[in-house]
Amino acid sequence: ANVIEIENLHYTYRDGTKALDGLNLTIEDGARVALLGPNGAGKSTLLLHLNGIYQAQQGKVKVQGQELTSRNQQWVRGVVGLVFQDPDDQVFSATVWEDVAFGPTNLRLSKDEIASRVEGALAAVRMAKYRDKAPYHLSYGQKKRVAIAGVLAMNPRVIILDEPAAYLDPCGKDILMDILSRLNQNGATVVIATHDVDLAAEWAEQVLVIKDGRTLAQGGTSLLADEH
């Protein structure tokens, strides 16, 4: 089944820039997807629609078969977790533990449930031993993993990452992509938006190529053969 379906999505910014221009795509539940496209293609604008931060001006965004509207924003934020490109936009608490606990605490879960989610999320990104550190003192790649843990602690069905490998050294990049593969093996749908064709070819099963606010191609990684 498709966890995400987009039909004829349009989005124009206030200054008149047409960022999405009749975009269609589907993402299967449990897939490992790369959303590829050059800078300015509309990737970030699209991602902001997938968890309800932006609303469709025209067309439809469906998650688990439900069309997103102003009434189910809260719900979709629990289903689709978004990891921004820059962890400094997402990681702000005094300690790693508090940062990852922020979302579950807002859900008013029990103390035990919060603790178990935070521990699980920190283990998944291999940051358990940094739980009492200030995020401020961590490396960029470690902060990125804390941001991911904060999203995981919400138990999302779909995890979307904007340029996950940006500014990481090769080792940090390998660790991160390995973490994402494991999350996918455990059942999550994982979508990475990137302009890195090699990363997409190496890591993804499904590829969506976006350009000028539309889907140019959707299929397996063989789609990328021409670009090498």
Enumerate binding residues for ligand ADP (CB under 6 A).
13, 15, 17, 19, 37, 39-45, 85-86, 140, 167
Instruction: Give the nearer residue to ligand ADP in terms of CB position, either 146 or 153.
Output: 146
**Least gap, CB of 112 to ligand ADP (angstroms):** 36
**Least gap, CB of 108 to ligand ADP (angstroms):** 32
Instruction: Give the nearer residue to ligand ADP in terms of CB position, either 37 or 103.
Output: 37
Q: What is the 3-state secondary structure (H, E, C) of the chain?
A: CEEEEEEEEEEECCCCCEEEEEEEEEEECCCEEEEECCCCCCHHHHHHHHCCCCCCCEEEEEECCEECCCCCHHHHHHHEEEECCCHHHCCCCCCHHHHHHHHHHHCCCCHHHHHHHHHHHHHHCCCHHHCCCCHHHCCHHHHHHHHHHHHHCCCCCEEEEECCCCCCCHHHHHHHHHHHHHHHHCCCEEEEEECCHHHHHHHCCEEEEEECCEEEEEEEHHHHHHHC
Instruction: Give the nearer residue to ligand ADP in terms of CB position, either 123 or 217.
Output: 217
**Least gap, CB of 57 to ligand ADP (angstroms):** 13
**Least gap, CB of 19 to ligand ADP (angstroms):** 4
**Least gap, CB of 65 to ligand ADP (angstroms):** 26
Measure the CA–CA gap between 30 and 36, rounded to whole angstroms. Answer: 19
Instruction: Give the nearer residue to ligand ADP in terms of CB position, either 30 or 141.
Output: 141
